[in-house]
Structure 1
């Protein structure tokens, strides 16, 4: 199995085009055509992680965080990023990062937090925009079933809990083929009218290439008329953070003690307790201050995240409890999630959960 074949499997789970625009995801180091001897899954790719990969004979590191985030102008080993890249290249180790592509996955980072905290009835906290597209195309009536089936098989027409969704309108199309054409219907240099069906069908943007390939492969016309538009509808299955409910309400302090234990947090920074019972919880792995307002609007009584600054705690405004449990702590179970996924997809393959400690923050 090659690096590319493994990353294709990962991208079925977390398509890279769902990553945030500021991010740097995908294959960061290495040859995509190299054969994989073993996979090491980690939260961060540091020098000790590369050493672990060498010892375990893994030449592909699947990392949540990207070791290369900004452009490198020199690679001299002057800092930890450059040293990691040099060591990986010296030992022919590829490094692949998922980061916000996995953050935005409904079954990704935040779903894992919800699972650990026992939350139910979960949904995306901040649905991602511009991820739903609509295909409009025109086909002769006798080809409608073939085209629709091909598009459905390519992943189009899925809306929430429903599949095979489309809308069709009958009409008449016209065209005139010139001397260089090879028309399926009609004659050269003669205006032709054909009863056609307009198909409208939605799909997620990660499926665009597959949907278009299915259209072109199965459409009977030499030239396929189609258009793709991006819809303003929010995608409720893709986005940052999650909100869910506790099976039974809990007092604020009791719930935070539960969170501290479940997430192995050494300490929790939080805003003022409001004396409310906690029944609805918002979570966002990693730096989550940007989601404070969304958490308040969701009706949650508490927001679990990290990297909250001093003045950002004021945004609680006596409407919610903000709890910072630590960046590493919110994302630590991500590598377990990826190991479980890869093990199911590639059974009997050397997939290792990194044992290296990569949390840079210590507590006295």
Structure 2
């Protein structure tokens, strides 16, 4: 199996199209055509992690955080980013990152936190809108020719294979209505129905499906290949609907309500924390919990709208804690601490199919923040 096979598998799970504009997810260093000897999974890529990969015969490192966020103008080892890239290149170790694209999918980073906390009814906290498109196309029915029996289903099957028709927990979703289509081919046409130069009409099924916008080219290629007409009529519409499978953070409920102090103790234990920075307790039970791995302060209003009792995230600044305003408890557990279990998430996903070589969790603690206790 080659590096490009691994990256394709990862990007089917966490598409690069879902990363934020500032991000740099994907293959950062390495030749996609190289055969993989082993994969080391880490939160951050440091020189020590590259050395660990070499020792363990892993020529691909899959990380959550990209080692390169901005363009490198020089590679002379003047900082840790340049040194890591140089060391990786010298040792033929490829570097890959699944960052905000993994943050932004259902089942991603924040969902891993929710799993660690045993939350139920977990859903995306802030779904993204305008991430979906609707395709409308027209397929002849068997009323025109017996050979068109099943043509609509054949087109739909091809579209489903290309990624259309997924709505939450349901797939192969579509809508169809029957009507009459009209057309006239010019002298250069070779119409499937009727004669060139003649006004024609046909019994057709109007088929409507939705799909993630980033799959547009794949969906249209599948449509053209499966459709019986020489020229395929279709409409594409960008939808303002929220995509319940793509967005930031997660929210869910504890199986049973806990007192605030008991919940903080529970959080500390479940997330293996040394310390929790939090706002004033409100004297109310905790049942609904909102979470966001990494710096999630931008989701406070979403947590409030979801009626969460606690919002767990990281990287809160002093004055930002005042924004809780006794409406919610903000619990800052640390950036590394909120995302370190992402390693397990990535490893578990890769192990579902990667059975011909090792997928190893890094032993290196890459947390740059230390605590004096």
TM-score category, normalised to shorter length: over 0.9
State the partner residue of 2:28.
28
Correspondence for 2:341: 333
- 1:311-352 CA distance string (max 9 Å, x none): 111110110000101000000100111111111111242211
Spell out, residue by residue over 1:21-45, the C-alpha distance to the aligned partner (whole angstroms, 9 max, x if none). Answer: 2211111111111111111111011
2:132 corresponds to: 132
8 Å contact from structure 1 (residues 41, 62) kept in 2: yes
Q: TM-score, normalised by structure 2?
A: 0.93
Who is 1:204 aligned against? 212
Residue in 1 that maps onto 2:364: 356
Deviations 1:272-292 (A, max 9, x none): 111111111111000011011
Note if contact 1:19-1:25 (Cα within 8 Å) is conserved in structure 2.
Answer: yes
Contact 1:343 1:349 in 2 (8 A): no
CA contact (8 A) 1:129 1:233 kept: yes
Query: 1:311: which partner in 2?
Result: 319
Q: Distance in 2 between matches of 1:148 and 1:354?
A: 43
Q: Write out per-residue CA displacement over residues 215-262 of structure 1, whole angstroms, 9 at most, x where no aligned residue.
A: 111101122222222211111122111111111211112211221122
1:292 to 300, 304, 320: 300
| Counterpart for residue 105 of structure 2 | 105
Q: Match for residue 192 of structure 1?
A: 200
Q: What residue is the counterpart of 2:172 in the other structure?
A: 164
How is 1:218-233 mapped onto 2 (pairs within 5 angstroms)? 218-233=226-241
What is the Cα deviation at residue 60 of structure 1? 0.8
1:94 deviates by 1.1
1:5, 1:116 → 2: CA distance? 30
Structure 1, gaps ≥5 residues long: none
Q: Displacement, 1:114?
A: 0.9
2:144 match = none
- Match of 1:345, SS state, is coil
TM-superposed CA distance for 1:199, in Å, is 1.2
The residue that corresponds to 2:252 in the other structure is 244
Does residue 265 of the first structure (1) align with residue 273 of the second (2)? yes
Name 1:65's counterpart in structure 2.
Answer: 65
How many positions carry a matched residue from both structures? 364
The question of 1:277 aligning with 2:275 is answered no
Alpha-carbon offset, residue 300 of structure 1: 0.8
Equivalent position of 2:50 in the other structure = 50
Conserved 8 A contact 1:151-1:215 = yes
Once the two structures are TM-superposed, the CA of residue 179 in structure 1 deviates from its matched residue by 4.0
How far apart, in 1, do the equivalents of 2:189 and 2:89 lie? 51
Distance in 1 separating the partners of 2:241 and 2:353: 32
The answer to whether the 8 Å contact 1:38/1:60 transfers is yes
SS at match of 2:110: helix
What is the distance in 1 between the residues matched to 2:194 and 2:166? 35
Post-superposition offset of 1:62: 0.6
1:213 Cα deviation from its structure 2 partner: 2.8
Q: Give yes or no for the alignment of 1:115 onto 2:123.
A: no
SS of the equivalent of 2:352 reads helix
Deviates more, 1:180-189 or 1:277-286: 180-189
Secondary structure of the structure 2 residue equivalent to 1:358? coil
Aligned twin of 2:145: none
Contact persistence 1:9–1:345 (CA under 8 A): no
